[in-house]
Structure 1
């Protein structure tokens, strides 16, 4: 691939995430259906709810949410769904709305109330066309309704808010996208620019509030485009953005504004997301401590004297500190997964070819990918939905055609680990020093939790692991040639036209001078050494992983994302070799919070799967996340 900029074409198709809640109703099989069902004799008759029981449940929900309660007393041994709709609509002051159920006559007094509660997400139909207004409310219905009303009444709280929670708040009129953007801008000013000064954000989009206001108007007129409508996203500053500089963290590119967005950025915008700003990174993505000549040293919000990981450490620190809803990073060797692990986040390194690299400043295209960093698996899946797909400007994405599901959110199954066979790569659990032991202890506990959640765990050894780890990353080989191509694509606006010019300018982090000069010294990629790495390393890694998975009938392999926790700033930072398996094979991997060390430092567990099997990994990661709830927000950014 030698084209790095998006060639925009109107009419391009984008994958939008689905946030349909599974199930269409609150309740069990309606009585009218059960009566004619030949199996009804074996089905327990549902417990019905009296009017007073319904009222008391709603009163309790109001009390728990700290709201007022004005519903009148209700008599009767049962309360019908149509009555419930009217009572909720009047109590909550919902605006009456049209509905499309065949069994709700338009002239019925309760029709507008049914439309209102359905629109608010409090009640649903038994099908797309049937509401069954004359059916009585059951005890199971009431339990679900109580939770929904409680969620509706609770005020919106920004920290740790998920995409679905934000969308619900917007639907309920508690929040606008413009207000949400301002909340995040305030947090960036409080925690990133001042106070503890995380130094995670390089650039703020000056048009963010205007874009948010326009999206609010569009929502009011047409409804949301999808789950990312009006959602503020922070992206690593090596993704091209046509409305902000794209710098790779380097002073040399501080004024470089590309003409067009990177493909993944364009897809996010089309989905309705707001690119709130650009985040700091280890300059040119060379390392894992996230320092740059433009942004300085980013701090870890869990331990301000420690590194945030890298090279996508700015995105990691910012999302952990709740400076945006979610973010994008890039990963050549471990640069999504390491900062995700160090910041108690979910990070997805997709299969090479699932998502376009067009418009990303390259480090080594043989290994480069871009992907989501988020606080929850669900949010990461929603971002992956929006950014995956074919791009004619990245030929590798042709392999994804026909291999992308309708939505990765379909894999969000809390019971997803039941029946799974998970291989535990025991050689990747290191205990050579106290820091490695601390990480291994946390991930060993996580493996035990996988078992308790229904998975069968099998200890394995990956064939040829030592030989695989002897191979180097290709960033030391490809960077010069691919960066020069990228700079050429910038055209006349490029501040420099080659790595040699950048080195001569002196406008870069001097701690990287030797690495940059070593890369500049590469004369050609047409060498036997380079070809052997590309061909032999890739085939050996893929075949070794596929063989052990086939031999043990495995669905995925797990191991510590990093063998080390975040190191003290100023000391050396290592992550081990675990992160190499995914880029060397091209296979997908997802890291999810596994817990914390005794010092309170985050640790991640990584799931590795077969090519284009992101859905399976998301299922297992989600099940683990929901069953353990290891993540908590950093205390320094309440």
Structure 2
């Protein structure tokens, strides 16, 4: 994907065309109606509550009705960042944001003006979002959380960011991540330690923990993360959110700093399944700058919102993946909540099938992780993207002297120590002996075959299991229960994480649904029905509505 960097004029033309097409849609649905008069506008207290409680779907309805403007929403989210990002009232602060977008208010004003003229781009028009800081943004640095890349300036937006902007979304801020997406606690040399708003002594999951914690704390309506092995689903589970690891090839990875071309995906996190559908409508589909997306051609529905059916669980067949239901002490609470989730799905009309242990599948999945083999190769390819601006002193640390490489970053030492150790270990792996790597790829293909067979032979629409088998760990303690991420990551199958309730400690737990490649409509339907029936999500008490 190093050869990307399409002409910005092409994107601008496409954006303009999109506005023309969606103007008619907005007028037909009332979305293009003029904003209401001052008598119908919401009080500041209402807006302060909405940005905590409501999802992007409901906020879009309020924008369409004229009760609130995008400028008001952006200001409300910014006020919450000011109030809760750093230490306050005995709390250490969420620390989810790497940098705020200084143009957010101006962007919101421009989109409000478009709405007043009757030009509405779609349901994300004027919705404020958070973007993980390994997604390229042409107007802000993209650091991957590293001091070494604090002045890294990409030539243009990542493809998914460009599509969201074209759909009318507003970037409020770029969020912290576990540095170079190489960990699960969300700590970085540039951003520090992000904290879980449900208990600020605990981690928020990772590596997309800044996006997860930021959405939960009300810093943005929804956002983007990336997932190499659980990096969307872990923070979604730990922050009582919905998170989707899409099928490999559904959405472009162009402009997302990589760990592994084989395992990386970029996808949405939000408060509701409905919001996930809206973001997929804007971002999914073929991109010539990411060849993997060729697999999506002919497999993208007209709209993912058509799958949002509160009877989707009726007659569905869901297999309980018992290999991931641990009976160990720390995992018992999570296992019980997932069992309860399966019972709730059964109450909605699903047939629940307890699957026996799958030793062959588990062995193949556990032996097929390749991100450590690919990190140097794929990150170097990204770092060499034409048009990128960077300090020449960084590039000169190791040969060649005209581009930045992983070796330069390691030599700089400007990386949080635990991640620096991991990056050092990956130096030379992409150019050394490849026999073991190819064996792992073969095991990946075997895992895909066995997983297809499991779903087919049992006539299953999805598998169900915990997103993470243990609650968020205390900061400084290792996070256990993450091996579960392998099943989707090491096969490329899609997986949707949905809130399943809370532990006795008040920590969120997520239940995960996995389906066949490109079965996102099915997963969204099942998840929507379950979420509508249970309403488990509640906002964290440590970041209440502002007065």
- Compute the TM-score of the two structures, normalised by the length of structure 2: 0.89
Contact 1:589 1:608 in 2 (8 A): yes
**Corresponding residue SS for 1:159:** helix
Q: Identify the residue that residue 425 of structure 2 maps to in structure 1.
A: 518
> Aligned to 1:489, which of 385, 406, 409?
385
> Aligned to 1:389, which of 278, 285, 291?
285
Query: How many angstroms does 1:327 deviate by?
Result: 0.4
Q: Identify the residue that residue 369 of structure 2 maps to in structure 1.
A: 473
Q: Identify the residue that residue 455 of structure 2 maps to in structure 1.
A: 549
Q: d(CA) in 2 for partners of 1:559 and 1:350?
A: 17
Q: Does 1:244 align with 2:140?
A: yes
Aligned CA distance change for structure 1 residues 7 and 351 (closer, same or farther; 3 Å) = farther
> Aligned to 2:299, which of 403, 428, 434?
403
Contact 1:478 1:525 in 2 (8 A): no
> Aligned to 1:180, which of 47, 70, 73?
73
User: What are the Cα deviations for residues 353-411 of structure 1, in whole angstroms up to 9, with x where unaligned?
Assistant: 10000000001110000000001110111111111011010011111011000111111
User: What are the Cα deviations for residues 574-630 of structure 1, in whole angstroms up to 9, with x where unaligned?
Assistant: 233211111111111100001111111111110000011100000000000000111
Q: d(CA) in 1 for partners of 2:437 and 2:390?
A: 29
Q: Does 1:415 align with 2:311?
A: yes
> Aligned to 1:440, which of 332, 335, 341?
335
Q: d(CA) in 2 for partners of 1:518 and 1:469?
A: 22
Q: d(CA) in 1 for partners of 2:290 and 2:451?
A: 26
User: What are the Cα deviations for residues 318-359 of structure 1, in whole angstroms up to 9, with x where unaligned?
Assistant: 001111000000000110001100111000000011000000
Contact 1:5 1:262 in 2 (8 A): no
Q: Identify the residue that residue 559 of structure 1 maps to in structure 2.
A: 465
User: What are the Cα deviations for residues 131-181 of structure 1, in whole angstroms up to 9, with x where unaligned?
Assistant: xxxxxxxxxxxxxxxxxx9x99x9553212222322222233221111110
Q: d(CA) in 2 for partners of 1:246 and 1:7?
A: 20
Query: How many angstroms does 1:272 deviate by?
Result: 0.4
Q: Does 1:637 align with 2:543?
A: yes
Contact 1:4 1:486 in 2 (8 A): no
Q: Identify the residue that residue 44 of structure 1 maps to in structure 2.
A: none
Contact 1:280 1:295 in 2 (8 A): yes
> Aligned to 1:457, which of 352, 356, 379?
352
Trace 1:37-436 onto structure 2 (pairs within 5 A). Answer: 155-156=46-47, 157-195=50-88, 196=91, 197-432=93-328, 434-436=329-331
**Corresponding residue SS for 1:458:** strand
User: What root-mean-square deviation, in Å, do the aligned CA atoms of Structure 1 and Structure 2 show?
Assistant: 2.5
Contact 1:354 1:388 in 2 (8 A): yes
**Corresponding residue SS for 1:592:** strand
Contact 1:155 1:174 in 2 (8 A): no
Contact 2:315 2:351 in 1 (8 A): yes
Q: Does 1:575 align with 2:470?
A: no
Q: Identify the residue that residue 515 of structure 2 maps to in structure 1.
A: 609
Contact 2:3 2:386 in 1 (8 A): no
Q: d(CA) in 2 for partners of 1:217 and 1:629?
A: 35
Q: d(CA) in 2 for partners of 1:7 and 1:524?
A: 33
Q: Quick check: 250-259 or 512-521, which moved more?
A: 512-521
Q: Does 1:508 align with 2:404?
A: no
Q: d(CA) in 2 for partners of 1:525 and 1:177?
A: 52
**Corresponding residue SS for 1:482:** helix
Q: d(CA) in 2 for partners of 1:117 and 1:358?
A: 31
Q: d(CA) in 2 for partners of 1:280 and 1:595?
A: 26
Contact 1:233 1:324 in 2 (8 A): yes
Aligned CA distance change for structure 1 residues 528 and 553 (closer, same or farther; 3 Å) = same
Aligned CA distance change for structure 1 residues 526 and 611 (closer, same or farther; 3 Å) = farther
Q: Which runs of 5+ in 2 are unaligned?
A: 396-403
Query: How many angstroms does 1:117 deviate by?
Result: 13
Contact 1:239 1:262 in 2 (8 A): yes
Query: How many angstroms does 1:7 deviate by?
Result: 5.3
Aligned CA distance change for structure 1 residues 464 and 119 (closer, same or farther; 3 Å) = same
Contact 2:452 2:516 in 1 (8 A): yes
**Corresponding residue SS for 1:247:** coil
Equivalent pairs, count: 513
Query: How many angstroms does 1:483 deviate by?
Result: 1.2
Contact 2:246 2:267 in 1 (8 A): yes
Contact 1:463 1:545 in 2 (8 A): no
User: What are the Cα deviations for residues 452-508 of structure 1, in whole angstroms up to 9, with x where unaligned?
Assistant: 111000011335133124315222111111111111115562334111111111211
Contact 2:274 2:528 in 1 (8 A): yes
Query: How many angstroms does 1:5 deviate by?
Result: 4.5
Contact 1:488 1:494 in 2 (8 A): no
Query: How many angstroms does 1:255 deviate by?
Result: 1.2
Q: d(CA) in 2 for partners of 1:15 and 1:584?
A: 36
- Compute the TM-score of the two structures, normalised by the length of structure 1: 0.77
Q: d(CA) in 2 for partners of 1:6 and 1:557?
A: 39
Q: d(CA) in 2 for partners of 1:294 and 1:458?
A: 46
Contact 1:15 1:387 in 2 (8 A): no
Q: d(CA) in 1 for partners of 2:327 and 2:86?
A: 38
User: What are the Cα deviations for residues 245-272 of structure 1, in whole angstroms up to 9, with x where unaligned?
Assistant: 1000000111112110000000000000
User: What are the Cα deviations for residues 220-267 of structure 1, in whole angstroms up to 9, with x where unaligned?
Assistant: 113311011011110100000001110000001111121100000000
Query: How many angstroms does 1:194 deviate by?
Result: 4.1
Aligned CA distance change for structure 1 residues 523 and 269 (closer, same or farther; 3 Å) = closer
Query: How many angstroms does 1:570 deviate by?
Result: 1.0
Aligned CA distance change for structure 1 residues 5 and 515 (closer, same or farther; 3 Å) = farther
Aligned CA distance change for structure 1 residues 577 and 15 (closer, same or farther; 3 Å) = farther
Aligned CA distance change for structure 1 residues 568 and 116 (closer, same or farther; 3 Å) = closer
Contact 1:299 1:308 in 2 (8 A): yes
Contact 2:176 2:191 in 1 (8 A): yes
Q: d(CA) in 2 for partners of 1:492 and 1:614?
A: 34
